[in-house]
């Protein structure tokens, strides 16, 4: 699975024209003076590079690419959406790609239909449709979330989150330790029930630098399971950190904030940040989601803002 930054220039250019400029294959072909088929070939090659390894047929991958890029006629797009709802392997591949492309898109991507992502046994479907088990423990602190980086992508993040949400009201035990000036992560345990969970992505939050400058971009997904809500955050081209840490916040004003947790371990040379967890009951009253760089162990207000976006998807009364 590649990244947007590593795509060949011609493939990345096509995606940028479609996702950021809202251009069609035909418009791009006229703009570049090439055949429409050549534009589509570049887009499909980019999807094959960005998507996880899969056994899906080339025709299925091509249809998903056209759907996510908004290049299908309305009736065909509707049929494709219905097909994704009944095909776990294709839906999972589409979910993974949607998460990857969201940071580049200026508008929300076409909807991927809701479907059960976890079962009572904890079995989940990989990007190739092969069942596998999710054994990542849930991680919470004082009813909030403890953010952890790790190799979480697309659907896998949702599955891990919903596995935690399905536990209802777990018992907690947590400890924290600091090392130097770097904010420390807390370790915690939570027991979960064996009830089945069904994930529903209810909102997408585009995260951008507060000044609009720079290449760092991210996206947040608000996920609902029953009455519980969770957040998934992914970002790219995030500067690596060493003696500091990234943290996620809900924000109204400098005196009205809620720190969700630190991202631990830190961001490495690849610039990828991926994390998620459970939102507090008070989340609905906040207006912004922030990703910040912190130098204190227990900050009371957000540090340097790296990314920010309008927080939505959670009712104020939740």
Q: What are the domain boundaries of the chain?
A: 4-101, 137-310
Q: How far apart are CA 101 and CA 93, in angstroms?
A: 12
Locus of tokens 């990542």: 136
Residue 260: closest CA among 205, 198, 196, 210: 205
Per-position pLDDT tens, the chain of length 318: 567 888 888 899 999 999 999 999 999 999 888 899 999 999 999 999 888 888 888 889 999 999 999 999 999 999 999 888 888 888 888 888 888 888 788 888 898 876 433 333 333 334 344 433 333 333 333 222 333 222 233 434 444 444 444 343 333 322 222 223 334 333 222 223 333 345 578 888 999 999 888 889 988 888 887 788 888 888 888 999 877 889 999 999 999 999 988 886 678 888 888 877 788 889 999 999 999 998 888 888 999 999 999 999 898 875
SS3 state of residue 144: strand
Q: Is CATH 2.60.40 the classification given to domain 137-310?
A: yes
Q: What pLDDT sits at residue 265?
A: 64
Rounded to an integer, what is the distance from CA 257 to the centroid of its chain?
Answer: 22
DSSP H/E element including 76: helix 74-85
Residues 291 and 246: beta-carbon distance below 8 Å: yes
Q: Output DSSP code: residue 43.
A: H
Q: What pLDDT sits at residue 191?
A: 28
Q: What pLDDT sits at residue 137?
A: 32
């Amino acid at each position: 699975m590649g990244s947007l930054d590593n795509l060949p220039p011609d493939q990345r250019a096509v995606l940028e024209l479609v996702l950021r400029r809202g251009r069609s294959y035909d418009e791009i072909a006229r703009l570049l003076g090439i055949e429409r088929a050549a534009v589509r070939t570049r887009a499909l090659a980019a999807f094959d590079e960005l998507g996880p390894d899969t056994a899906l047929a080339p025709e299925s991958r091509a249809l998903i690419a056209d759907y996510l890029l908004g290049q299908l006629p309305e009736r065909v797009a509707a049929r494709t959406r219905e097909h994704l709802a009944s095909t776990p392997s294709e839906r999972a591949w589409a979910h993974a790609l949607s998460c990857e492309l969201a940071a580049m898109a200026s508008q929300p991507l076409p909807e991927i239909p809701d479907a059960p992502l976890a079962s009572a046994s904890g079995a989940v479907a990989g990007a190739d449709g092969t069942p596998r088990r999710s054994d990542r423990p849930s991680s919470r602190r004082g009813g909030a979330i403890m953010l952890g980086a790790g190799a979480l992508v697309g659907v896998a993040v949702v599955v891990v989150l919903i596995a935690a949400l399905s536990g209802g009201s777990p018992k907690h035990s947590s400890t924290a330790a600091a090392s130097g000036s770097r904010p420390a992560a807390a370790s915690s345990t939570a027991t979960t029930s064996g009830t089945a969970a069904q994930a529903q992505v209810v909102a997408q939050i585009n995260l951008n630098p507060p000044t609009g400058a720079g290449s760092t971009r991210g996206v947040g997904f608000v996920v609902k399971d029953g009455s519980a809500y969770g957040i998934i955050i992914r970002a790219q081209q995030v500067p690596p950190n060493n003696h500091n840490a990234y943290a996620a916040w809900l924000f109204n004003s400098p005196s009205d904030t809620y720190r969700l947790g630190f991202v631990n371990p830190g961001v490495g040379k690849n610039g990828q940040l991926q994390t998620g967890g459970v939102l507090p009951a008070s989340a609905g009253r906040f207006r912004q989601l922030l990703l910040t760089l912190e130098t204190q162990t227990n900050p009371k207000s957000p540090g340097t803002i790296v990314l920010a976006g309008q927080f939505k998807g959670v009712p104020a009364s939740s």
